[in-house]
Structure 1
Amino acid sequence: MTQDQLISDYMNTGRIADLPTSHFIGGQSVPAANGKTMLSHDPGTATAFSEFARGNDQDIDHAITSACAGFEVWRSTPPAERCAVLNEAARLMRSQSHQLALVESIDSGKTLAEASGDIAGSARLLEYYAGASDKLDGRSVNLGNDNAAFTVREPVGVTAHIIPWNYPTSTLVRGIAPALAAGCSAVVKPAETTPFTALMIAELLVRAGLPPDVVNVVTGTGPEAGAPLVQDPRVQHVTFTGSVATGVGVMQQVAPNVTGLTLELGGKSPLIAFADADIDAVVEGAFWAIFSNAGQICSAGSRLVIHRDIHAEVRDRLIAKAQGMTIGHGLRNPDMGAVNSDRHLTQIDGHVERARSCGVDIVCGGHSLTDPETGLGWFYAPTILDDVAADNDAVLKEIFGPVLTIQVFDDEDEALTLANGTEFALAAGIYSRDISTALRMARRVDAGQVTVNDYWAGGIELPFGGNRKSGFGREKGIEGLDAYLRSKAITVAV
């Protein structure tokens, strides 16, 4: 079926044909050991469209046992063969992109265009790490004596991947692709509101030639499935993306086993606009930095830190653009789709209401919505909070929604103080025509990645991750392989 046919079928029936609803363990669909299921909702309509297995510790034990067996096979697979499997998986993902994007849009609430971009980027991730599979070499070391010494890079073993709901496909692939390139196996626990693309991709990988035990997916809740996964001593590395509070909990859970850990947590990232910046670029950059995916992006430019000289003009143009946005069900490809869940919608609204009660100037939005065409769904209006004090919770707390907070500065030192003024340090954007100013600020701002004059510049070839309470470790880029490899030194007396 074409994508238009798939969309029409879903809109008419409220169902998706052939959607996987069981765990994927050992290359097969496996129902929950306890027989329980959960409902999955379409955020664009706030109605359930399918159900899926509600896993527990028994299912996790089954999946880890499978992954242990898969690791022994996959670690011995020649690197060139790993490369071929990942490249074939990328090809299959592109051939199945219409269905994957449809499911991603319905399951998460994002627009079909955004979901399609996620699928295309994930296929590219598979290709990128396919190219690394046969290049993970060690080095020869000159000890200055008669001994011969060298290093080898070995896969760490079974890896666990806890996937968030805002980017269920791309976050999955950016973790398992380097793990597979390194020779590791994986057990995946997708978010309980977005389980389906992980199941579909696991099956796709087996069709691409991956041995059936290497990637396993268990669906369910964090306490029932995620916790036993990260606590299992057979797991050698955990990659987690989510909230700070849950990330701290994961750290505590893996500590007794001294398990490796990558944490990608929250953000409150600044987009810093100097007086000499290109106004058009600032408006466009700030707009999509916060309103892409309804602001549900850990690296969203949720704070516009702007020079007083251009503050009013940029603010007014952002208000006009925000008020002109189309909002609705993701399959109709509006400018902005739904918020992922009713619970999260309530959290966003709570943040804005607390700002309102503190006297913050809400110059745009500030309320929840429904789809104007159907009157259904979980939506929040594009919202702008103007000239907010540095100690206000709207500045300090991650809202994780379409809410832009504006802070005004008068000089470079004040801009830096404001930019570094939260507990997060994930991303930052700098807008200035003066390259010296931009590079000086790029060195001084605390962030894992900095872009200049284009907030979403960069790509999968660059490392991604944060400092301070934004987490530690890096994903994407060559650095993304480091978590899944360990070096062994070998010395031979000759």
Structure 2
Amino acid sequence: MSEAVVPQYTAVIAGKQVPATRWIDVLDPSNARLLARVARCGAAEVGAAVEAARHTYETLWRFTTPVERSRVCHRIAEVLRAERGDLARLETLDTGKPLSQSLVDADVAARYFDFYANTVEALGGETIQQQPGRLAFTLREPYGVCGHIIPWNYPLQIAARTVAPALAAGNCCVLKPAEDAPLTSLRLAEIVEEAGLPTGALNVVPGYGGEAGAALAAHPDVDRLAFTGSREVGEAVMIAAARNIVPVTLELGGKSPHLVLPDYDAALAVPQIVESITEHAGQNCSAGSRLLVHRSVHDELVDALAERFRSLRLGAGIDDPDMGPLISAKQRDRVLGYLSEGRRDAVVRAGGGVPGGEAYTDGFFVEPTILDQVTPENRVFNEEVFGPVLCVSVFDSLDEAVALAEHTTYGLAAGVWTSDVTTAHWLAQRLRAGQVFVNNYSAAGGVELPFGGYRRSGIGVEKGLEALREYTRCKTVAIHARLPS
């Protein structure tokens, strides 16, 4: 793309495009070409965004009724659906994911606004019984200004996931998208205002995490924080939140296992296991990245998976292949580093490196890979690779399967594949994971399903009704009514 026609995107604060003096290059992951430039915001822009959100909250949005907020959220969903194709194309160019996956992301983003529009009117407090002459009840009230720091893997979907419940509950928001994929978040800022959201209720400030993200996390006038991303950055966000004594939701990493028992349904399991680790090239915090399989069915299952992996079509996301590139050269090199180390102690059953061919020369591609006979001592067994790498280990008993599943410090999701409902129930109770899927693995969807991690996968809950409650605080009112004399 010629330098002369490279589009530029600035921060959106109080409904206005804010002039920028510093820029970040955004590359197309499929060919490393310059796709756009976005403003490199810092503390000044973040401060202006927080001020705008505070003004709108204090003068307007906090006084709206749930019915009014519901109507606005429904209109946002309508505009998102109307622009589904354009948003999906922009998401694919920005992230590299196949176009069909970006279309699903656009649909899910609209569903988040519809879901919270439908549920906010039912959100209420409780009455508490006390002695005669005393009345006590609780109110659910918005926090005020919420800061949202989101990653680059599902920017449109995660922006909607975190912003929709906050807005529906009556908060105003400042959103900091990842510098690698900020374009649909900036378009979202325009869409919500087109749909009737008051100016300043959603502000978007692109920039680097260490500058704009750190400024937002540390801002003293932010009442609540939500962060999705790496564990290391999550720790920094949590420290910043602690200094200001504000609540925080952290959705961090994962090393989610599939537990496959001898009585599994291969026709059901194989395609979903493949999809769970190759969707968006495995760049998914809840990707099913570990396959723990009973020894008796190991060979047949791994053979079937390897055949599927070898048949996957790689390419530029805009051509809608089975799998696109990774987000950046940095991420590709990170994944290749894990593969180089992991294959020393494992058997490569599919993939294992960079695909050959001219079509992959300039992009950030890695082959979908199966590493077999991976031991718990191997780094790829325990650490989040965030790429299309499936690690296979065997077990002989249920207790051993649980021990292998629990060997990492993460606990985001897990899949269980068995025809025995008693065994499934037993495993679901024992696995320390925020979501356990039995004979399915749909961690990327499920707007209605609460989503939160155990252990170092995070704290707090997103999605479902629980997220709406997360964005409100509980106030207790106790009234002493004088009894008639």
Residues of 2 paired with 1:17 and 1:126: CA distance? 34
Q: Deviations over 1:20-40 (max 9, x none)?
A: 6010000111123xx111110
Q: What code does the residue aligned with 1:334 have?
A: P
Gap change, CA 1:371 and 1:377, over 3 Å in 2 = farther
User: Is the CA contact 1:15–1:49 (under 8 Å) kept in the aligned structure 2?
Assistant: no
Unaligned 5+ runs, structure 2:
none
Tell me the equivalent position of 1:461: 448
User: Is the CA contact 2:6–2:34 (under 8 Å) kept in the aligned structure 1?
Assistant: no
Deviation for aligned residue 1:369: 3.2
The DSSP-based 3-state class of the residue aligned with 2:359 is coil
The DSSP-based 3-state class of the residue aligned with 1:368 is coil
1:89 aligns with 2:65: no
- Please list, as runs of the form range in 1=range in 2, the aligned pairs for 1:111-260 lying within 5 A after superposition: 111-260=98-247
The DSSP-based 3-state class of the residue aligned with 2:254 is coil
Aligned equivalent of 1:394, options 356, 370, 380: 380
Aligned equivalent of 1:287, options 253, 267, 274: 274
Tell me the equivalent position of 2:89: 102
User: Is the CA contact 1:290–1:300 (under 8 Å) kept in the aligned structure 2?
Assistant: yes
The DSSP-based 3-state class of the residue aligned with 2:288 is coil
Q: What code does the residue aligned with 1:380 have?
A: V
Unaligned 5+ runs, structure 1:
1-12
Tell me the equivalent position of 2:389: 403
User: Is the CA contact 1:20–1:196 (under 8 Å) kept in the aligned structure 2?
Assistant: no
Tell me the equivalent position of 1:421: 407
Deviation for aligned residue 1:44: 0.7
Gap change, CA 1:146 and 1:252, over 3 Å in 2 = same
Aligned equivalent of 1:354, options 318, 341, 352: 341
Deviation for aligned residue 1:16: 12
Q: What code does the residue aligned with 2:42 have?
A: N
Tell me the equivalent position of 1:8: none
Tell me the equivalent position of 1:7: none
Tell me the equivalent position of 2:371: 385
Q: What code does the residue aligned with 2:464 have?
A: G
Aligned equivalent of 1:62, options 45, 48, 69: 48
Deviation for aligned residue 1:149: 1.4
Residues of 2 paired with 1:18 and 1:383: CA distance? 35
Residues of 2 paired with 1:370 and 1:62: CA distance? 48
Q: What code does the residue aligned with 2:40 have?
A: R
User: Is the CA contact 1:44–1:337 (under 8 Å) kept in the aligned structure 2?
Assistant: yes
1:28 aligns with 2:13: no
Q: Deviations over 1:356-411 (max 9, x none)?
A: 23x22112111123675363311000100001111211100100000000010011
Aligned equivalent of 2:462, options 445, 468, 475: 475
The DSSP-based 3-state class of the residue aligned with 1:102 is helix
Gap change, CA 1:217 and 1:148, over 3 Å in 2 = same
Residues of 1 paired with 2:234 and 2:116: CA distance? 26
Residues of 2 paired with 1:419 and 1:16: CA distance? 52
User: Is the CA contact 2:433–2:453 (under 8 Å) kept in the aligned structure 1?
Assistant: yes
User: Is the CA contact 1:38–1:54 (under 8 Å) kept in the aligned structure 2?
Assistant: yes
Deviation for aligned residue 1:286: 1.3
Tell me the equivalent position of 1:273: 260
Give the count of matched residue pairs. Answer: 479
Residues of 1 paired with 2:252 and 2:166: CA distance? 20
Gap change, CA 1:165 and 1:146, over 3 Å in 2 = same
- Please list, as runs of the form range in 1=range in 2, the aligned pairs for 1:289-368 lying within 5 A after superposition: 289-357=276-344, 359-368=345-354
Tell me the equivalent position of 2:421: 435
Q: Deviations over 1:159-193 (max 9, x none)?
A: 00001000101111110000001000000000000
Q: Deviations over 1:253-303 (max 9, x none)?
A: 221111110000000000110001112222112111111110000000000
Residues of 2 paired with 1:164 and 1:157: CA distance? 23
Deviation for aligned residue 1:19: 5.7
Deviation for aligned residue 1:78: 1.7
Residues of 2 paired with 1:385 and 1:486: CA distance? 46
Q: Percent identity over the alignment?
A: 41
Residues of 2 paired with 1:229 and 1:127: CA distance? 28
Q: Deviations over 1:193-223 (max 9, x none)?
A: 0111111011100011100111000011011
| Runs ≥4 residues deviating over 4 A | 13-20
User: What is the TM-score of this pair, normalised by structure 2?
Assistant: 0.96
User: What is the TM-score of this pair, normalised by structure 1?
Assistant: 0.95
The DSSP-based 3-state class of the residue aligned with 1:200 is helix
1:444 aligns with 2:430: yes
Gap change, CA 1:328 and 1:155, over 3 Å in 2 = same
User: Is the CA contact 1:63–1:187 (under 8 Å) kept in the aligned structure 2?
Assistant: yes
Q: Does 450-459 or 250-259 show the bigger shift?
A: 450-459
The DSSP-based 3-state class of the residue aligned with 1:405 is strand
Q: What code does the residue aligned with 1:187 have?
A: V
